[in-house]
Structure 1
Amino acid sequence: MRQKRLLYRCVELGESYRISFYGCKNCQNSVTMRIYVSEMRINCAGESGNVYRVLIVDDEKVERTGLRLLLGKMDQKFEITEAVNGKEALEWLSCNRADILVTDIRMPFVDGLELVEQAARLYPDMKAMIFSGYGEFEYARRAMRFGVEEYILKPVNPTEFQNAIKKILRVLEESKQEKSRKQTEGSLFKEYILNAIFNGTDAAELEKRAAGIYPMDFLDSYRRLMLLEVSGDFFENKSGQLLGGLKIAGLNADYLNVSPQQGILLFKSESDEWKETARRVLEILEEFGGKDAKCYVAVSSSLKNRSQLAERCRETELLMENRFYGLDSHIFMAEYDVECADDVQLDDSTLIKQIRQDVRTKDMLSLSEHVDRLFHNYRQNVGFSQIYVKFVFSSLLKVLYEAIPGKNDRNLNEEMEMLYRTADIDEIRRIIEKNIQLLEQETQTDSGNIHQEVEEVKHYINTHYGEEISIEMLAERVFLAPSYLSTIFKKETGQNLSKFIKVCRMEKAREMLEGTKDKIVSISEKVGYPNVSYFCQSFREYYGMTPQKYRDQGENAEQDAEQDEEAVALG
């Protein structure tokens, strides 16, 4: 005979589960299947939903049985538990939840009114009904003070009892819908606030917009950011699978969509193992992205409060640009711990490689950041000889010299000699920074050509926003390397290419919603989103409301304006 095991619980969107199917009692074989929930929610027994939990408390069994029978005759499913007195009921409630408490007043140990009072402290949303043979006003007054919904006298009239239960069910359903509405609105506004911050909106302006609508305190709870990037349209089609994978791995973070290729995770707790956490996230991306997907993770430095959010976002964007350097690592850390000399030497090699790329592309912002990190290594670690440290920075000086016109070997030898005679690392830094300033002056003469290439890319995006656009394709049009185009575009506009493309598409979608009668699915395709669900998500995050709600608000505003004009004309 086959053994059947049932598991009741609530399944959430974006969750993944492992389910085992067992054969006969003596058979050791089992089949494990991994399922991913993407399109539905299943409400099972034991959760408030289609099935309500009712706790009946009375010291007389015949009364409990009668009430159970009356509930059974109603067109509603209940999960019913009985208790013989208030003390037993409180013991059950200490580890179980009920939606409705139905109790007598006169009982041993703990009476009904005391039970309702203590139960209300445990579960403020739980609804209570009292039935009693005592109709004194004092009982009713105390019951109402404790939030009792209904007070029925014994003997219980079946119709009155069932009507009272129906009334409570309506209240529960209304409360449930209101709670769901507030959660949805809060979630939407939260997404909108985060998106606005990461798109560069002034924090003070956001505070004004949010005043009285939604508290901004949640922004102070974040402790670390991770910028994720996957080639293709991963975040358009598989963000739910990512969140399910994170949940299985025990990684709790809020998620923010950036583009089809990028997303952000916001962690609320600190950790001593951020590199390990990043490695686990990368494994999940690679699992769902497939063998051909290129996956990267950039980890910010720690966050102390909301004022640092925009800065940390910018930090992860700069770190993510390391993917263009062809490094073996796919994880880029803003902070790292150096444990031995070999670790530093390996990191020196990586930083010098990055600095060479910065100099070649004339990316002065990234150059300054990478040089700062190189100096940081040797301020934090004193176990290296002066000769070794001077050798590292002499290599850097040579890289800078090769890019500065008018400099020759004689000049280089002179500065090398000065560098090796320095007494401390601050003197070395002054020599390096002097040459960085010379290089920066040289790059300013090339700004005209850079501006022209960036304008050409912007024009193409503004006229081809409905087509598939990639950094590689844009770079090919202006005969530049993708890494160089990404760098100069960010330098010229203050936005990376992915963000600029998204902003363009969102603004075009807004114009179409205001100026046309096109269907949402048609607008989605016209602005470059073949997946209408992902378009609606992106629009909602950017503007704080769905495309349909945005259109409805605009139409209502037009009607009000027309009515005002008519009123003026009649007046």
Structure 2
Amino acid sequence: MAYKVLIVDDEEIVCRGMAQFVKWQEHDFEVVGTAYNVDDAMVLLNQLAIDVVFMDIRMPGKTGLDLLQMIQKRFPNIKSIILSGFSEFSYAREAMRYGAVDYLNKPVNLKEIEELLKRLKVMFMEEKKEQEIRANRVEALLLSAAKGYAKVEQEKYQLPVFKRWYGIALGLLDRAFSEQEIKEKKQEMRLEIGQIVPGAYILDSHVYGVFAIIPYKEESEVENFINMITQICSMNREWICGVSKTKNGVENLREAYQEAERALNYQKAGERRGLVCYKNIEPLFSQNTPEVQDVISRVMCMLTNPEKRNDAPKKLENDLRLIWNQGFTIMQFQTICIQYLIELNSFHQGLKIKNADLHRQLNQTLREILLSNDFEATIVCMIDHIKNLVNQLNEADEQQLGKGVIKEIQLFILTHYGENITLNMLAEQFYLHPNYLSRFFKEKTGKNFIEYLTEVRMEKVKELLINTDNKVVDISLMVGYDNPRYFSKVFKQFTGMTPSEYREKL
């Protein structure tokens, strides 16, 4: 991609000479416009995405200094170069104070311009790297806050300001995609959303999904975006989507993430494809309590563990009786049970249990619960549903089920190696007991969790050391190490060399 250049000088011969005789393309630049006064230059700046402006310091009417001030105010990312005569050196110094990055003496020397282009290209590349590093850090901080792993500290970490916004959770339906296919489909969705809402932040929330923060100004924008994303999901039939309620302020990030995920899980539980808005299913979650989420996590952990699975029905019964004793009405209690079943069904859809019609089983249990008149009948419906699921899991190919879970964990690590990944965090996300996950991971991969994570990170470090000129301290942050000294120690243990030695050798 060539950097776009605008030349502004009241002498036409200067504009034409610079545009024609400088070897712009050899240095990845191209002249996209020339102007002979400040007003014409501003018209072009408003029409074109300009990266660099070469401007004469003295022109009739408005001067180069006037143009420079307007550029700094309206287009602060543009690099401005001043063209001045020897007698105008004081103007050139003033221009530097206004933000010009360099100046050239007139008559301009073509070689000097090309040397300047080399320096400008380096500046652009360094800025791009810094922007990418910052963008990765911001995304990681936002994702940590959304998942509840960290507090939202906007001023401390200079997080973006979200005034009016909402969140959407998008998930791929097919779990058989390869790592590369998942990456490509996520990138396609990022581009789709970015084209509709350029100011959106799209976070890599799950192996098979993303979470997007969508800012808006007018209420009509919300409806328009929902219609567009519904069409996208309906056309390719690969994605489903859950949308949170509208929010004010970044402090509501965790709440929006939970709402969008619940709407997504509700969509997974049904047979229809497309999009669900949380506001339309909110009554199902109106009785949500921390105890309910604990019940869901505990029982799912037991169901995914062959050694504990058969104890799951009894554990669920005890937990539900404790919830009932908190004084809920029968309708409130049944709403809690329905919420639990929706989340449970969503998780087990991903396991692809052979010959299991989870949609039909869920709908049947929901009908039975809604027809139940008392607490004991509702409990029986729940226990029967869990017993049926336990039997199906016991009859399934345990090796195949295990491979599916481990594959998802490996894909998660390959995607999120730059974050603070812990065994407990993975266990929570994939509903496995940490001890069982540790043993199970070693059995399936031949490596323990830390060994696998370190290997993934070190391979990425080697790639970055070879293919980029990023600083070692920046690379350490990019792959999840806050302490550069510890990072260098780990890399040396892995390769026998420090990062600097490895780069020099290659």
| Shorter-chain TM band | 0.5 to 0.7
**Alpha-carbon shift at residue 298 of structure 1 (Å):** 2.4
**Cα separation, 1, equivalents of 2:455 and 2:261:** 35
What pairs up with 1:35-184 in 2 under 5 angstroms? 43=1, 48=3, 52-59=4-11, 61-68=12-19, 70-71=21-22, 75-76=26-27, 78-79=30-31, 81-96=33-48, 97=50, 99-103=52-56, 105=58, 107-124=59-76, 125-132=78-85, 135=87, 138-148=90-100, 149-153=102-106, 156=107, 161-184=109-132
Q: CA deviation at 1:201?
A: 0.9
Distance in 2 (alpha carbons) for counterparts of 1:81 and 1:169: 17
- Contact 1:86 1:108 survives alignment (8 Å): no
Residues 337-380 of structure 1 deviation map (CA, whole Å, 9 limit, x = unaligned): 99xxxxx9xx9xxxxxxxxxx9x976858985873899xxxxxx
Q: Of 219, 224, 227, which residue of structure 1 is paired with 2:167? A: 224
Aligned residue runs from structure 1 range 488-567, under 5 A: 495=429, 497=431, 510-514=450-454, 545-546=478-479, 554=486, 556-557=488-489
Please tell me whether residue 336 in structure 1 is matched to residue 287 in structure 2: no
Task: Give the equivalent residue in structure 2 for 1:298.
Answer: 242
State the distance in 2 between where 1:142 and 1:275 align.
50
Give 3-state SS (helix, strand or coil) of 2:117's partner. Answer: helix
| Secondary structure class of the residue paired with 1:257 | strand
One-letter amino acid matched to 2:488: N
Does the CA contact (< 8 Å) of 1:71 and 1:78 recur in 2? no
Question: Residue type of the partner of 2:140?
Answer: Y
* 1:181 CA drift (Å): 1.4
Tell me the TM-score normalized by structure 1: 0.50
Structure 1: gaps of 5 or more residues: 1-42, 339-343, 348-357, 375-391, 406-438, 471-492, 522-542, 564-571
Q: Distance in 2 between matches of 1:499 and 1:316?
A: 26
Task: Tell me the equivalent position of 2:236.
Answer: 288
AA matched with 1:142: E
Structure 2 vs 1, CA of residues 520 and 179 (structure 1 numbering), >3 Å: closer, same or farther?
Answer: closer
| Amino acid across the alignment from 2:452 | M
Which has the greater radius of gyration?
Answer: 1
- Tell whether the 8 Å contact from 2:166 to 2:256 is kept in structure 1 after alignment: no
1:200 equivalent among 140, 148, 153: 148
Alignment: residue pair count:
379
Question: Under a length normalisation based on structure 2, what TM-score does the superposition of the two structures give?
Answer: 0.55
Amino-acid identity (%): 14
1:382 maps to none
Q: State the Cα deviation string for residues 257-303 of structure 1 (Å, max 9, x = none).
A: 333433323222274686885564344234334xxx6x533222333
Q: What's 1:386 paired with?
A: none
Distance 1:337 1:259 in 2: 23
Match of 2:414 in 1: none
Seen in structure 2, the aligned counterparts of structure 1 residues 314 and 115 have a Cα distance that, compared at 3 Å, is closer
**How far did 1:173 drift?**
1.6
Question: What is the RMSD of the two structures over their aligned residues, measured on CA atoms?
Answer: 5.8
- From 173, 183, 189, the equivalent of 1:242 is 189
Residue 129 of structure 1 contacts residue 151 of structure 1 at CA under 8 Å; is this kept in 2? yes
Structure 2 gap segments, 5+ residues each: 285-298, 300-312, 325-330, 339-366, 410-426, 462-475, 498-506
User: SS of 2:148's equivalent?
Assistant: coil
Secondary structure in 2 matching 1:135: helix
More helix by share: 2
> What residue number does 1:400 align with?
375
CA contact (8 A) 1:57 1:103 kept: yes
Give the corresponding residue for 1:255.
202
